[in-house]
Amino acid sequence: MSSLLPLKPTPRSVSDRGLEPRLVDFEDESAEQILSAVASTTARRILNRLYEKPTTTSDIASDIDSSVQNISYHLDRLQDAELVEVIETWYSEQGREMDVYAPTNSALVLFAGAERTTPSLTTALRRVFGAVGIVGVVSVIVHARWSVSTPVPVSRSGEPPQPDPTLWETLVTFGTGPGGFILGVSIVLILSLFVTWYWRTYRLTQSHTHSA
């Protein structure tokens, strides 16, 4: 007869749980406890194992060739440091409950020097405008080559010569040509990458603020 208890369902991975990375400055109060919890090689092996796949104490002990008591000791310390948590419960064939451990974050980053590690918005904007300027020069060159290769209609004999195009007509011609297309697509792409970068940086900063 099959057991009515869930034995070993597939646990949710770190990516499936939608976790955020945890940034910890060396000067944070939690840094000392974290460093103490991961000072042991066994503790670091346990944490790496859980980032690969959530699992139980006995499975970790079997994987890294250690005793269950030793694994339990380090798991308690990692829990106190808020690096791992129990996400569900499995049952053995005898009906014994087994806690399933997993990381509390998608990545753990310990750092020093916030000014060096935090990207500058001014620097990022300067790079964006520089990239737009380069693309603008390229698009003008493309437009100029396209204009030269485009045949100009010859006026009929006796008709007055066509006047030089106005600034507006020149801009319209540029915007509807290949140069304008390249410039527009490039600007959209650059701005999209910038917004994505800024949003990710903002979320990381918020995560660091909440974890501090």
CA distance 48 to 81: 15
Would the pTM of this model clear 0.85, i.e. be above it?
A: no
Sign of CA dihedral 34, 35, 40, 45: positive
Look up residue 45 and give its amino acid: R
Q: Residue 86's beta-bridge partner residues?
A: 101
Band of the pLDDT at 197, cuts 50, 70, 90?
A: low
The DSSP call for residue 46 is H
- Dig out the tokens for 142 from the structure: 């493309």
CA distance 63 to 65: 6
Give residue-wise pLDDT tens across range 94-141: 778 899 999 999 888 888 765 444 455 566 666 666 666 676 666 667
